[in-house]
Chain A
């Protein structure tokens, strides 16, 4: 097991470096740069004098240097934990990501725990009661959840909430609380807003977890060793929970690898339509405005989380399944 982990760790290093290179190249790919975007945006809004400032702006943002030079500088600083300044916001990228990370995690953790916490038991119920009324009901609901995108569900909730209460529950806080420090009232305000994204996301999330769990468990329950266990007279509860569920968890555990990334960058469109102060909205804006340092850092953060997530999932799987660690 130790050798296995070490081997996996060693392959991480070149992967991470490749990710930073790729991340930088991707941010450089679109034609033009941040200054072009900025000037266009200003002109479209009617600021007619801005074009004269083009060369100056490029010097100001360091965009006049060749890409290779900028990459080495940036990577060097990156290694020291300095991610550069956002071009659009004039603030350190670190601060921007830092102030949004917590709220992103609040939303995604709630959604993750609930969808898995609800999805797994329901999946087990569905599988063990195949084609019963309960299973049919859950199946229909799950297809609705999978079929309707979460941002649409969020919009429906938003409008319903407005019809009932008269409040527009976009964002995570009412404006009087955004700048306030934490208090019981602010927490309540958060809860008042939080349910819309969480509920919308868990409707889709639960449906997916439930369907995967149901399918796997059904496969497992039809396999020979389960039949053998039943034939030995092992109680059904033990058959399902000890021999069935444990072996049906594999696909979900491999999916955990992507969950780490999803926690930071899932439900992007929902974030945007609800205007949540999360990483996703910043990432989209940074990409649109070619704010390369901010966008690049988030892209690399996402890449790193994929690598780490996969690494952790592999270890979990190896622990769960001896066939992997000895192969």
Chain B
């Protein structure tokens, strides 16, 4: 898989260079006279070009010339549609002072970056890597010549500082993230030279690079400006506590700091809590376009911070007023008609990326519920199948999702890499359509089969032991989409004789009840999950989190090696899935791993549905001003931050024209 990735990337690069012609190639020796952006008259000729806004600083000597700021061999980013032009201010909104949405735009600079269609990863901070045969040792080569936004060179010490001085230092409360501890033992990291690291794992860790590159909060946050943070670290400076260090390290506040060096295309220049954050181009940004223009194209980003729960409304209002240039998240499906109506006067267009959800809502049956009579039903296939067949998914799609989703069973996203082969396609189709047909009669006969019949003559079915049956579904009050869908599901279930109660409560109550094994079914607005790399626990219960398949305690049982939690019943689908996962994560050969992964999914088809999907793959609207270019028309998958969107579409190559 790695070699394959490499080949594709290499091929893309060669194609990109070839398409631009030899005269425009950044490898050309002579200075390029006729370029997209003419350098200012009195700047010395250079191999690379920079944005005009930096010219003055170079002329007065406060900034070195562009050729000295870039390495000899910078990372070339192929634009989505065409070479852009410099300039412009990008106006967006964010929903909190932590600037999470903004981090997903500018802070996604991990070891490897997802491809723009999320199908695999490409080199970013890391240029190449190789494993030993057993998959237990890994050599990672960092890209050379990258500089922090203050001009200081980046090298492996910036990663080692995080690992040795923050994670391993007992006095600093920074935990080892998941993917660095294997069966209780931490990985070993050794420095080979300034740009090479050697990792040793206690067991094969073939997915380390991918897992370490998710979102903006793994390696993107772990490679830190050590020269800067050392001045705040008690062990390296006269600081007496960790407060300042953690304040700068914490990704929730990093974009509030205007003095911390970064590797991102834009760096913070001003921040006012609850109001505005301003970012300007990083003069040392280490990527160029195919003709040698230093990226990013856009000069500046102004982020309006809207707190207090009126965020989606503010996005809609500012959009139709034409005051948003490009916004990816938090456009409510219900606002789509309004936004489309005002697109022309507002001067923008709407694109639809994929939310990537496997189901919204996703009905997680909790096999760790504290009433064995209910759990008995969940472990029986007929009852689960009856619940699934009773639901009219098309109706929910039309009424709740405005037809913007797909009626389907619980199955991972069709874009996941393992589904791209012929067999993968087959497994995907089988899985996503399994038990999804609306068939109340079949549901009734399945319930009869499960012994769930009306025993007391009140018209509603009872438990096999004669007690009344009542399904209680926890749903978060804040998730209107799930609440609306559950109203219809309740109708469908009562239609076949199962009385249903909706328990719409605060998130914290669902958490608390889940801990106490008081949740029977949880209707959750799912994110995207990606095979083994991102949130595997949604298809196999291996982590003690609220969205673990089968329940928190089933996941905990696996995570603690059986020390606590609730064991899945022997021979059940849950147990088979856990065993499959244990085997999968250490398989070094990517082809074998992919085949075994599809085998594991087959358990969901044969013994399923283990949990119940309703409507998934919702479209995720985004607004783009007509003068804002190089945004992919489709392909972005935005629900899971792990996939790094919109950062994974390389916002540094977006550009703006004057209208």
**What is the interface of chain A, defined by CB distance below 8 A to chain B?**
30-32, 36-37, 40, 43-53, 55-56, 59-60, 85, 88-91, 96, 99-100, 158, 162, 166-168, 170-171, 173, 175-176, 178-179, 271-273, 275, 277, 281-282, 284-285, 288
Considering the complex, give the chain B residue whose CB is closest to the CB of A275: B306
A-B contacts, 5 of them at CB < 8 A, read: A47-B641, A51-B543, A88-B252, A170-B306, A284-B308
**Interchain CA distance A318-B322 in the complex, whole Å:** 57
Within 8 Å by CB of B217, from A30, A47, A56, A91, lies A47
- Bound complex: CA A281 to CA B512 (Å): 27
A99 near B307: Cβ-Cβ < 8 Å: no
Given contacts A43-B545, A175-B304, contact A56 B175 (CB under 8 A): yes
Contact, CB under 8 Å: A53 / B175: yes
* A92 to B: closest C-beta gap in Å: 11
Given contacts A175-B275, A272-B309, A281-B308, 18 further A-B contacts (CB under 8 A): A31-B512, A32-B511, A40-B546, A44-B527, A45-B641, A46-B535, A47-B215, A48-B640, A49-B218, A52-B175, A60-B246, A88-B96, A158-B317, A168-B321, A272-B308, A282-B274, A285-B307, A285-B308
Q: How far is the CB of A225 from chain B (nearest CB, A)?
A: 51
When each residue 155-188 of chain B gets 1 if its CB lies under 8 Å from chain A and 0 otherwise, what string results? 0000000000000000001111111000000000
Q: Which residues in B have their C-beta under 8 angstroms from that of A48?
A: 214, 534-535, 545, 640, 642
B interface bracket (residues with beta carbon within 8 Å of A): 35 or more
A215 to chain B, nearest CB (A): 36
Let me know if A89 and B273 touch, CB within 8 A.
yes
Residues of B contacting A89 with CB < 8 Å?
97, 253, 256, 273
| Contact status B218-A45, CB under 8 Å | no
CB-based contact B508/A52 at 8 Å:
no
State A88–B274 Cα separation when bound (angstroms). 12
B23 interface hit (Cβ, 8 Å): no
| Cα of A170 to Cα of B307 in the assembled complex, Å | 12
Q: A55's closest neighbor in chain B, by CB?
A: B175
B318 interface residue per 8 A CB criterion: yes
Q: Is B151 an interface residue (CB 8 A)?
A: no
Q: Is the CB of A31 within 8 A of B508?
A: yes
**Pair A173/B275 contact, Cβ less than 8 Å:** yes
Is residue B443 contacting chain A, with contact meaning CB distance below 8 A? Answer: no
Task: Kindly report which residue of chain A lies nearest to residue B175, judged by CB atoms.
Answer: A56
User: Is residue B421 within 8 Å, beta carbon to beta carbon, of the partner chain?
Assistant: no
Interface string of B307-320 (1 = CB under 8 A from A): 11110011001100
- List the A side residues contacting B218 at CB < 8 Å: 49
Q: Which of A47, A167, A272 is most buried by chain B, counting CB atoms within 10 A of its CB?
A: A47
Q: In the complex, which residues of chain A have a beta carbon less than 8 angstroms from the beta carbon of B639?
A: 46
Query: B275: which A residues are within 8 A, CB to CB?
Result: 171, 173, 175, 178, 277
Please report the C-alpha to C-alpha distance between residue A19 and residue B214 in the assembled complex, in whole angstroms: 46
**A-chain residues with CB within 8 Å of residue B272 when the two chains form the complex:** 178-179, 277
Report how far A47 CA is from B98 CA in the complex, Å.
14
Residues on A with C-beta less than 8 A from B175 are 52-53, 55-56
- A170 to B302, Cβ gap below 8 A? no
Closest 3 CB pairs of A and B: A56-B175, A46-B640, A46-B641
User: Closest approach, in angstroms, between the C-beta of A120 and any C-beta of chain B?
Assistant: 33
Contact with A along B271-286 (1 / 0, CB 8 A): 1111110100000000
Q: Is the CB of B508 within 8 A of A175?
A: no
Are A88 and B97 in contact, CB atoms less than 8 angstroms apart?
yes
Q: Give min CB distance, A107 to chain B, whole Å.
A: 14
Residue of B whose beta carbon sits closest to that of A268: B308
Q: Does B547 reach chain A (CB closer than 8 Å)?
A: yes
Contact across chains for B321 and A162 when beta carbons are under 8 A apart: yes
Given A56-B173, A179-B270, also A275-B97 (CB < 8 A) = no
B262 CB, min distance to chain A CBs, angstroms: 17
Contact of A168 among B97, B318, B544 (CB under 8 A): B318
Contacting residues, chain A, for B511 (C-beta < 8 A): 31-32, 36, 40
Give the shortest distance, in Å, between B243 (CB) and chain A (any CB): 8
> Are the CB atoms of B507 and A90 closer together than 8 Å?
no
Q: Which residues of B contact A85 (CB under 8 A)?
A: 243
Q: Check if B323 sits within 8 Å of A168, measured CB to CB.
A: yes
Q: Is the CB of A284 within 8 A of B177?
A: no
Residue ranges of B at the interface with A (Cβ–Cβ < 8 Å): 91, 96-98, 100, 173-179, 214-215, 217-218, 243, 246-247, 250, 252-253, 256, 270-276, 278, 302, 304, 306-310, 313-314, 317-318, 321-323, 507-509, 511-512, 525, 527-528, 534-535, 543-547, 639-643
Instruction: From known contacts A46-B639, A170-B317, infer whether A40 and B507 are also in contact, taking CB-CB under 8 Å.
Output: yes
What is the distance, in angstroms, from A58's C-beta to the closest C-beta of chain B? 9
Q: How far is the CA of A273 from the CA of B311 in the complex (A)?
A: 9
A32 touching B512, Cβ below 8 Å = yes
Contacts of B508 in A (CB 8 A): 30-32, 36-37, 40
Contacts of A90 in B (CB 8 A): 247, 250, 252-253, 256
Assuming the contacts A46-B642, A282-B274, asked whether A275 and B174 have C-beta atoms less than 8 A apart, the reply is: no
Q: Which residue of A lies closest to B329 (CB)?
A: A45
Quick check: A178 and B507 within 8 Å, CB to CB?
A: no
Cα separation A175 to B89 with both chains bound (whole Å)? 12
In the docked arrangement, what's the CA distance between A173 and B173, Å? 39
What separation, in Å, do the CA atoms of A175 and B277 have in the docked complex? 9
Q: Is B512's CB under 8 angstroms from A179's CB? A: no
Q: Considering the chains assembled together, what is the distance between the CA atoms of A44 and B98 in angstroms?
A: 15
Using known A-B contacts A51-B545, A53-B177, A175-B304, determine if residue A275 contacts B273 with beta carbons closer than 8 Å: no
**Residues of B with C-beta under 8 A to A167:** 321, 323
State in angstroms the CA–CA spacing of A106 and B100 once bound together: 31
Give complex CA distance A277, B278 in Å. Answer: 17
Q: How far is the CA of A31 from the CA of B250 in the complex (A)?
A: 25
Given known contacts A31-B509, A90-B252, A96-B273, is B308 in contact with A175 (CB within 8 Å)? no
Also in contact, A49 and B178, with CB within 8 A (given A32-B508, A36-B508, A90-B252): yes
Indicate the member of B173, B511, B527 with the most A CB atoms within 10 Å: B173
| Complex: A43 Cα to B178 Cα, angstroms | 14
Residues of A contacting B525 in the complex (Cβ-Cβ under 8 angstroms): 44
Query: Which chain B residue lies CB-closest to A32?
Result: B508
> Please, how many angstroms separate the alpha-carbon atoms of A99 and B97 in the complex?
15
Contacts of B243 in A (CB 8 A): 85
Instruction: Say yes or no: B544 contacts A275, CB within 8 Å.
Output: no
Say whether B310 contacts A273, CB under 8 Å. yes
A206 to chain B, nearest CB (A): 26
Complex Cα distance, B494 from A242, in Å, reads 72
Find A45's partner among B100, B179, B274 (CB 8 Å cutoff). B100
Q: Contacts of A175 on B, CB cut-off 8 Å?
A: 91, 275-276, 302, 304
Residue of A nearest to B176 (CB): A52
With A and B bound together, what is the CA distance between A273 and B252 in angstroms?
Answer: 25
Q: What residues on B are CB-neighbors of A171 within 8 Å?
A: 275, 304
Residues of chain B lying within 8 A (CB to CB) of residue A170: 306, 314, 317-318
Chain B residue numbers with a CB within 8 Å of A60 are 173, 246
Please, which residue of chain B has its CB at the minimum distance from the CB of A30?
B508
Q: Once bound together, how far apart are the Cα atoms of A319 and B118, in whole Å?
A: 74
- In the complex, A40→B218 CA distance in Å? 18
Tell me whether B276 and A178 are in contact (CB under 8 A). yes
Measured in the bound complex, the distance between the Cα atoms of B273 and A281 in whole Å is 11
State the Cβ distance, A200 to closest chain B Cβ, in Å. 15
**Docked complex Cα distance between A111 and B642 (Å):** 47
Partner of A46, one of B215, B256, B271, B318: B215
Q: Are A59 and B173 in contact (CB under 8 A)?
A: yes
Q: What distance in Å separates the Cβ of A85 from its nearest Cβ neighbour in chain B? A: 8
Q: Bound complex: CA of A147 vs CA of B75, how far in Å?
A: 62
Min CB gap A269→B, angstroms: 10
A176 to B278, CA, bound (A): 9
Contact between chains at B276 and A179 (CB < 8 Å): yes
Give the distance to chain B from A61, nearest Cβ to Cβ, in Å.
9
A166–B511 CA distance with the chains assembled, in angstroms: 44
Q: For residue B276, which residues in chain A have a CB less than 8 angstroms away from its CB?
A: 175, 178-179
Chain A residues within 8 Å of B546, by CB: 40, 43
Q: With a CB–CB cut-off of 8 A, which chain B residues contact A55?
A: 175
Question: CA A205 – CA B143 in complex, angstroms?
Answer: 64
Q: Which residues of A contact B271 (CB under 8 A)?
A: 179
- Please name all residues of chain B whose beta carbon is closer than 8 Å to the beta carbon of A96 when the two chains form the complex: 273
